[in-house]
Amino acid sequence: MLWLRTKQIPALYRRIIDPLIATARAFLEDGHSLDPVAIVGNSSKDQGSTVRINFGDDEAKARSARAIQTAASEINADFILTIMEAWGLPKDMVDRHQEILDRYGAIANSPYKIDAVSFALELRRGIWTAQLPIMPKDPVNKTRTFGEVTLKFVDSAHGLARLLPVSGNSPSSVLSRK
């Protein structure tokens, strides 16, 4: 299969997710924050739903994962796109990730943290992710934006991943492991 060699997102899904990414950009540019959400969809039936994600604690994460799985099973979803604001590190600090975690306990506590927007697209064919810094658009109106989103295929994922129904309507693991 061509997608397996190139690891490109099939055009069908690009047509679906590009407007969702544009909507996220418009929210930031209108002065809003991005609540963490999962857009769960079935491309052949043109169905979808949005599930809010709660990262409060481990139980909240597990409840969010179950809610995403339930929504995915109900419509036999073939894609899940998660969109959220996150904290990241500048490119020159990424190689010090573990050192920063050891010292500060979390990226959020680090003086090096930068605001970012994170995207993850899960298909049955794999997972693609992107994380971009959030930049000021209009400092007077305190609006923000982000650059061009290039989702890259990842060989492994952790966190909220592998939530699509495997076959029929049976979901896969709630929280994947490395």
User: What pLDDT, in 10s, does the model give residues 29-67?
Assistant: 999 999 999 999 999 999 999 999 998 889 999 999 999
Structure tokens at 36: 């963490």
Taking each continuous run of H as one helix and of E as one strand, the counts in the chain are: 4, 10
Distance CA 126, CA 26 (A): 27
Q: pLDDT band for 2, please (50, 70, 90 cuts).
A: very low
pTM: 0.85
Question: Who has greater pLDDT, 177 or 111?
Answer: 111
Mean per-residue pLDDT, 86-91: 91
Query: What integer is the mean pLDDT of 64-74?
Result: 96
Q: Which stretches does DSSP call E strand in 114-162?
A: 114-123, 126-133, 135-138, 143-145, 152-154
pLDDT bracket for residue 177 (50, 70, 90) = very low
4-10 average pLDDT score? 75
Neighbours of 9 (CB within 10 A): 21
pLDDT at residue 158 is higher than 90:
no
Residue 152: what are its φ and ψ, rounded to 5°?
A: -115, 140
- Mean pLDDT for the stretch of residues 15-24: 97
Max mean pLDDT range (2-11, 32-41, 156-165): 32-41
Angle at 146 between CA 136 and CA 61, to 5 degrees: 110
- Average pLDDT of the segment spanning 123-147: 92
**Average of pLDDT values for 95-117?**
94
Sorted by where each begins, the domain ranges of the chain are 8-84+115-155
Q: Report the range of poorest mean pLDDT among 21-30, 57-66, 152-161.
A: 152-161
Mean pLDDT value across residues 99-112: 94
Q: How many Å apart are CA 159 and CA 65, to the nearest integer?
A: 9
What is the residue-averaged pLDDT of the chain? Answer: 88
